[in-house]
Amino acid sequence: MRADRLVATLLLMQARGRVTAAELAEELEVSMATARRDLEALSAAGIPVYPQPGRGGGWALVGGARTDLSGLSATGAQALFLLVGPAAAVSGEAKAALRKLVRALPQTFRADAEAAAEATMIDPTRWGERDRDRPATVDLLQTAVVRRRKVRIGYVNGARERSERLVDPWGLVDKDDTWYLIAGTDRGRRTFRVDRIVEATTTDESAHRPDDFELATAWDEVVGKMEERRSRIWATVLVEARFVPILRDHFGRHCHTDGESDDGRARVRLAAPTPLDIARNLAGWGDAVEVLEPDAVRGELTRIGTELLGRYAVEH
């Protein structure tokens, strides 16, 4: 994972003071191009990593940072942890490296660094949708979380209604390329899809975050409520085992295998908000998928098939 490498790169430079891209590539078992991109990413994020031209050059961690990383400014420390924080949510190696790095930071920077590391998490389980670009607003919101500043946002809900909110940003979650902001509002805790935030401005007002707030715990509660809404209807289908990964890709966590049928096909349980949602996903499979139950899904498939036959029937 790239974030693991960024931490490893910085710790390696802390130990050696200066490295070349070739040395880094060999040490981390990556290509020269990858090593160079990682070094450039650290430099672009504000970490005191600079290329040294000429004979015996390379990349150096400057500013007296070799032994205690004191060359990191508060902003630099935040930038680093914003880069690696999401990976720490799913990687034990990154967590261990982050702990080492926190101990190496000057005491005055540790609180900000830890806050940045806890500002973001990744939930790798799909909800059946992806391929979105990272919204530009994420960076602004991450900074607001770390610095505990209220944010004024313009938000468009699923019904395309716009509202203006003043929120206390508590944390960000990246769920399969879809970003969510968990924030405090005058109506309590709310979750906002970041790609529906059409305008965001950081204010000078201090944001309040409960002392017992934990991003992972709050997100588990959000997911639990979403699962209740998204899994109101379950269907049992039979399909060749080789197609199960494709169904799982379409339905995400709402796809569970349930043994085999007598003819060797996989028995799979699928869920969606309505019978029509399941039927629409399965209609294109033709007879490659057999729906055993419920009758509501079978009925929707029959209706869809009748509509298609009526529209595309060929007269002889």
- The pLDDT of residue 288 is 94
Name the pLDDT band for 64 (thresholds 50, 70, 90): very low
DSSP-assigned beta bridge partners for residue 193:
180
Average pLDDT over residues 126-144: 71
Q: Could you tell me the CATH number of the domain that includes residue 294?
A: 3.30.70
pLDDT (average), residues 148-175:
91
Position 273 pLDDT exceeds 60: yes
Q: Are residues 77 and 34 in the same domain?
A: yes
Token pair for 54: 């000429």
Domain boundary among 182, 213, 244: 213
53 found inside a domain: yes
Number of domains in the chain: 3
Question: Is 130 inside a domain boundary?
Answer: no
11 and 92 housed in the same domain: yes
Q: Would you call 313 exposed, middle or buried from its count of C-beta atoms within 10 A (0-12, 13-18, 19+)?
A: exposed
Beta bridge partners of 174: 122, 179
Mean pLDDT over residues 30-51, rounded?
A: 78
Q: Where residue 92 sits, what CATH number does that domain have? A: 1.10.10
Select, from the ranges 67-81, 85-99, 152-166, the one with the highest average predicted confidence (pLDDT): 152-166
Return the C-alpha torsion angle 38, 40, 46, 48, nearest 10: 90
Same domain, 87 and 167: no
14 lies in a domain? yes
pLDDT for position 66:
45
Q: Rounded mean pLDDT of 270-296?
A: 93
Q: Which residue has the tokens 């509002």?
A: 185
Are 13 and 111 members of one domain? yes
Residues 174 and 252 placed together within one structural domain of the fold:
no
In the 3-class helix/strand/coil scheme, how is 107-153 assigned residue by residue? HHHHHHHHHHHCCEEEECCCCCCCCCCCCCHHHHHHHHHHHCEEEEE
Residues 29 and 63 reside in one and the same domain: yes
178 and 258 in a common domain:
no
Residue 314 lies in a domain: no
Q: Tell which wins on pLDDT, 58 or 265.
A: 265
Q: Note whether residue 67 is domain-resident.
A: yes
Q: CB neighbours (10 Å) of residue 52? A: 12
Whether residue 157 is contained in a domain is answered as: yes
> Using 50, 70 and 90 to split pLDDT, how confident is the model at 132?
low
Predicted pLDDT of residue 196: 94
Of 35-44, 109-118, 274-283, the least confident: 109-118
pLDDT 10s digits, 77-110: 556 666 555 555 545 555 555 555 666 655 655 5
Q: Which residue segment(s) compose the domain that 249 sits in?
A: 231-308
Note whether residue 218 is domain-resident. no
**pLDDT reading at 244 higher than 80:** yes
* Average pLDDT estimate for 67-75: 54
Task: Note the pLDDT of residue 201.
Answer: 95
The CATH number for 145's domain is 2.30.30
- In this structure, are 16 and 88 located in the same domain? yes
pLDDT higher at 52 or 269: 269
6 and 113 share one domain: yes
Which has more pLDDT, 226 or 186? 186
**C-alpha distances in angstroms, 280 versus 18, 159, 283, 295?**
57, 22, 5, 15
Torsion of CA 47, 51, 57, 63, to 10 degrees: -40
Domain annotation covers residue 223: no
Identify whether the C-beta of residue 71 lies closer than 8 Å to the C-beta of residue 95: no
- Higher-pLDDT residue of 114, 205: 205
Q: Which residue has the higher pLDDT, 99 or 271?
A: 271
Length of the chain: 316
